[in-house]
Copies of this chain bind each other. A is one copy, B any other.
Amino acid sequence: MSPTPVTMTSPVRPASYSWEATSEQVAARYGIPVERIVRFDLNTSPEAPELAGRVLAAGRFESSLSEYPPSDYHRLVDAAARRYGVAREEILVGAGADEVLDLLGKAFLPAGGAAVVPSPTYAMYRVLTEQRAASVLSVARRGAADGFALDVPAVREAARHASLVWLCSPNNPTGLPDPPGAIENLLAGITEDAAADGRPAPVVALDEAYADFTETTLLPLRSRFPRLVIVRTASKAYGLAGLRVGFAIADRRTIDEIATYRPPGSVSTVSVTVVATAFETDGWLEGRVAAIHAERERLAAGLRDAGWEPGPSVTNFLLVPLGSPERAAAIAEALLRQGLVPRTFGAGHPLSDHLRITVRSVEEDDRLIAAAREIGAGIGTEIRA
Q: Please give the distance in Å from A370's CB to the nearest CB on chain B.
A: 23
Q: A14 — nearest CB in chain B belongs to which residue?
A: B260
A246 to B42 Cα, complex, angstroms: 25
Indicate whether A207 reaches chain B with its CB closer than 8 angstroms.
Answer: no
State how many copies of this chain the complex holds.
Answer: 2
A17 to B267 Cα, complex, angstroms: 16
- Whether A63 contacts B260 by the Cβ 8 Å rule is no
- Whether B264 contacts A98 by the Cβ 8 Å rule is yes
Within 8 Å by CB of A96, from B59, B102, B266, lies B266
Rank and list the top 10 A-B pairs by shortest CB-CB distance, nearest first: A111-B111, A242-B269, A65-B242, A48-B65, A48-B66, A66-B239, A16-B260, A19-B71, A45-B66, A268-B268
Interface string of A163-180 (1 = CB under 8 A from B): 000000000000000000
* B residues less than 8 Å from A269 (CB atoms): 242-243
Within 8 Å by CB of A240, from B20, B65, B102, B264, lies B65
Residue pairs across A and B with Cβ atoms less than 8 A apart, 8 shown, are A13-B260, A17-B262, A17-B264, A48-B64, A57-B57, A65-B243, A66-B241, A266-B266
CB proximity to B under 8 Å, residues A104-150? 106, 110-112, 124, 131, 133
- Whether B16 contacts A67 by the Cβ 8 Å rule is no
- Whether B265 contacts A244 by the Cβ 8 Å rule is yes
- Whether A263 contacts B68 by the Cβ 8 Å rule is no
* B residues less than 8 Å from A46 (CB atoms): 66
CB proximity to B under 8 Å, residues A22-53? 22-24, 39, 42, 44-48, 52-53
Within 8 Å by CB of A111, from B13, B53, B57, B110, lies B110
Indicate whether A353 reaches chain B with its CB closer than 8 angstroms.
Answer: no
Indicate whether A374 reaches chain B with its CB closer than 8 angstroms.
Answer: no
Q: A238 — nearest CB in chain B belongs to which residue?
A: B66
Q: A15 — nearest CB in chain B belongs to which residue?
A: B260
Indicate whether A72 reaches chain B with its CB closer than 8 angstroms.
Answer: yes
Within 8 Å by CB of A67, from B98, B242, B260, B268, lies B242
A315 to B68 Cα, complex, angstroms: 18
Within 8 Å by CB of A59, from B53, B64, B267, lies B53
* B residues less than 8 Å from A259 (CB atoms): 16
* B residues less than 8 Å from A365 (CB atoms): none
* B residues less than 8 Å from A274 (CB atoms): 65
Q: A111 — nearest CB in chain B belongs to which residue?
A: B111
Query: How large, as a class, is the contact surface on chain A?
Result: 35 or more
* B residues less than 8 Å from A39 (CB atoms): 67
Most interface-central of A16, A66, A266 (chain B CB within 10 A): A66
Q: Please give the distance in Å from A161's CB to the nearest CB on chain B.
A: 19
* B residues less than 8 Å from A340 (CB atoms): none
Q: Please give the distance in Å from A59's CB to the nearest CB on chain B.
A: 5
* B residues less than 8 Å from A99 (CB atoms): 95, 263, 266
Q: Please give the distance in Å from A77's CB to the nearest CB on chain B.
A: 12
Q: Given A16-B261, A95-B244, 9 other A-B contacts at CB below 8 A? A: A13-B260, A14-B261, A19-B264, A44-B66, A65-B239, A68-B242, A95-B95, A98-B263, A102-B263
Q: Please give the distance in Å from A299's CB to the nearest CB on chain B.
A: 17
- Whether A67 contacts B96 by the Cβ 8 Å rule is no
Q: Please give the distance in Å from A341's CB to the nearest CB on chain B.
A: 12
Q: Please give the distance in Å from A143's CB to the nearest CB on chain B.
A: 29
A152 to B241 Cα, complex, angstroms: 46
- Whether A131 contacts B261 by the Cβ 8 Å rule is yes
Q: A20 — nearest CB in chain B belongs to which residue?
A: B71
Indicate whether A70 reaches chain B with its CB closer than 8 angstroms.
Answer: yes
Q: Please give the distance in Å from A129's CB to the nearest CB on chain B.
A: 13
A290 to B143 Cα, complex, angstroms: 66
